Each structure stands twice: as C-alpha cells, then as structure tokens.
Amino acid sequence: MRRLLACLLALCAFACAVPRASADPPDPHAAPAPAAHQVLVMLRMPSPHFRPDGAYGGGYTDDSTRAARRRVARELAAAYGLRVVDDWPMPAIGIDCFVMEDTQNKDGGQVERLLDTLAHDPRVAWAQAIQEYRGLDGGDPLLPVQPAAQLWQLTTLHHASTGRGVTVAVVDSGVDANHPDLAGQIKLRRNFVDAYPDAAEAHGTAVAGIIAAREGNGQGIAGIAPGAKLLALRACWETAGPPARCNSFTLGKAINFALMNDVGIINMSLGGPKDRLLQALLDAALSRGVALVGAADPAQPDGGFPASHPGVIAVASDTQRAAPPGSLRAPGTDVPTSLPGARYGLVSGSSYAAAHVAGLAALILELRPGTAPARLRADLDGGVRIFPAALASGPGQAGSINACAAIARAAGACVCLCPSTTTTASLPPPRPR
C-alpha cells in the first residue's frame, strides 16, 4: 500500500508541474483561425499516373496539368473578386484544393452567395466554407491518479499482440518525438499548419502516448499498442482557448497524406461540423480499408463530426453518462500519459478514449492483418459490456469495450481469464520484449 501511495504521489507531482493550457497567455505567433471571407475551391485532377513514395509531400512533380489548374484557379479568382492564398493537391479523392480569399467583402457577409455562384461554374468541382474543429479534451487533467490502462489488462493483452507492423496516423496537434516514451515510435512527422512552425504540443503528445508509448523502458507509461508506429501529422495548433484547433484545409491535407502513405488506422481526437471535403476523404479511406477512429463530442447528440460519419468508430469516455447511439466507451478519465518536455500528466476526455480504441485496433490488425473496417468494428462490438450508466441512459446507448474479449475474437483463443479446462498450450506465446 505504501509503495502504491508513493507511486501515486510521484505521478501527481509530475502532473502538477504541467501548466494548464487555459492559464497560458495567448501566443501572438499562433496560427489564426480561417478568416470568414476565405473559402475552399476544388478543381478536378486527372487520374493519378503513379504512386508517390513515403517522401510525398502533396504534389506530383511531373504532373503537367498542375500548372493548368493553377491558371484556372487564378482565372476564377479574377472573375469573382478573389485572391488565391494557398493550394494543396489531394489525389486520394481526385481534387486540387485551393484556398481563396474574398477581396471585396471582408465582412464575410457574402460568402454564401459566393459559394453558390462558384458551385454553378463548370470549372469547379465544388466550393465550401472552411470549417473549424477542436480537440475534445475533458477539462483539468490534474486529478487523482486512476490508471485506465489497468481496466484492459494491458500486460496480458501484450502477450498476444503489441500492434507490431501497424501504422497509425495521429491527425492532431504537434507530437513531441523526443519524449522518452515516444522516442523511436514516430515513423515520420509532418506539419500541415503552414502559418505556424512545427511544435511539440500537449494534446497531440498525450494522444500519441496513449496509443504507442514504449513498453518496458523503465519510465512513464505503456501504450495500448507499443509495437505500432505513428505518423505524427500536425493538422491542429494549440492556443489559450480549446486544447487544439484545426480547420478543413489543414485536416484535409493531413488525411490525404495519411492515405498516400499506407496507414492502417487514422485517429481523429477532434470534433466539429460536417464538411464535404473531409467526408470525401473519409469515404476514400474506408474504401481503401483504413480504419477510422473519432472522438464523440459529448455536447452533440450524434457525437459530432467526424465521429458521426458512417464507418467511423465513434468513441466516448467510459464515465460519460450519455453517449451517442452506436458509439463505444473506453477509458477517458484521469488517464496518465506523455506531455511535451519529457513530462507526464493526467488527461480526461473523449479525445483520449478514442486514442485507446485506435491502439486496440492496432492490436487486432497485428493479429489479423487486412481486417476490413466493418469487421474490425464487429470485433470491438463483440467485446462490449453494458454498464449501469449506459443502461440508465436508455436503450441503444454505448457500452464499454471489454478489451480481452475483443482481442480473443481476433486471436481465436482465450487471452485473459480462461476457463479452467483451458491449457496453457492454447494461449499465444509471450511477445519478445
């Protein structure tokens, strides 16, 4: 008991050293939210003619039609009183996305009329507003320690699988790749927030740690899938307000990059309004067999977007009283995890519940590579337990995942508590450490 108390006090000391985001002064260099007078204009691309490699950064170097599309974009801008601000090709869905700014109506009052006009131009695939998104943090992380990983018997699960060979894209704020629990776990990092240099940020680092923190290194935590590798795709930035802010364009660039780099899972611990560009990219991901995990927004009856998008595995915190129908529950309260600067702290919210499920999905994909998203969801559903809080919320509410049952379904063998008739010969051999 004394040893446990000492460990709890030590972790609390780590947590108390972490300043709350809301107490930080505003960063004058932080990337601004998209202006109300900026829109996204999509131009169609020709069919892709080659497969980019892992160094692909968003452009086909020998695409002779790129210059033509830029010329068309400039012509459109001139015709409608716009200015081309930025652009990014998204071959995953066959479009080139241009950010354009209305130079005539700075108050943004004419955006809807402008979008309608652009939609009727035959050169335009579609046009849309730039939506805003935020990380779904659950408030003050400095609460008493409650190691959520114990609920899933991680040590036992890792005898069956560690997520080895699986790549998870963390579409989030910046990840601290130098954190001792993440060193060597990041396959590559990319920054898609052009207005603000890459940075190690709290939300993205915490999510990455829950998914794939190193195991058995003598410090910190063990990730749900310590054998997995991460793509740290910075599509969000952090300010003194929400824990992380993103928009349609930054998220679109990151998700397109993930699809062009053969990921197995995309984790999106964020929420906001529905968005045509992002919907198209998510549909493309599902058609390619990529599993999508999204955090359910507790303030939205349907969980918000992208959690509510068909095919996305929506995840709510296990202590959330009411969760969207069809969503799953996972540990999301007082979760110890990595923070920038080799620190640790406690975090709460559906952002971190989603990270648990992304890690669990990686364990399943190691056991059964190529599992389709629908089958993966069935494995997770098969391990659901309904808790009293969910029952009290009415029929159709979320149940908490039984990780042992989910992994047993994927492994085809008992993993955790086994019947007395089960012999040790039927259990998977321990994984090398």
Residue type present at position 315? V
- 198 an active-site residue? no
**Residue 203 falls in the annotated catalytic set:** yes
Provide CB contacts within 8 A for 10, sequence distance 6+.
none
Which has the closest alpha carbon to 243: 411, 8, 12, 24?
24
80: left (phi over 0), alpha (psi -120 to 50) or beta: alpha
Catalytic residue, chosen from 203, 318, 327, 348, is 203
CB count within 10 Å of CB 432 equals 7
Sheet holding 236-237, edge to edge: 236-237, 245-247, 132-135, 270-271
Closest CA relative to residue 175, chosen from 164, 163, 187, 167: 187
Active-site residue, selected from the candidate residues 351, 356, 379, 400:
351
Separation of alpha carbons 396 and 326, rounded Å: 7
Of the residues 63, 87, 96, 172, only one is catalytic, namely 172
Torsion angle defined by CA atoms of residues 307, 357, 389 and 411, in that order, rounded to the nearest 10 degrees: 130
Tokens (6 digits) for 377: 């969801």
Residue 157 one-letter amino acid = L
Residue numbers annotated as active site: 172, 203, 351
